[in-house]
Amino acid sequence: MQIDQILIRPVENEFVVQYSDNAGRTNNFTTTSEDNANIAAIIADAKKKLPAEADRPDKSEISQEIEELEYRLKMLKQSIGVPVS
């Protein structure tokens, strides 16, 4: 068996290991930090290294994006002959 990928899901406190064998079959198993100090330490370390959340855009910026998307949707509908209200 060979470990192909390890996924850490800090929110769920999960540690997922994907592995494969010589025949190319893949599978995975999931373990949690519950009663496992090593996994808990890895997850805690990963949480510390996560980048900060991006600042929330200004409400006016979001409104502008929505207007642009609505206009684009209208143009796309017109291009395929869908009636636009």
Closest Cα to residue 40, out of 70, 7, 15, 68? 15
pLDDT in the model for residue 50: 79
At 65 the pLDDT is 93
- Summarised one tens digit per residue, pLDDT across range 18-74 is 999 888 899 999 988 787 888 888 878 877 887 777 777 788 888 999 999 999 999
pTM: 0.49
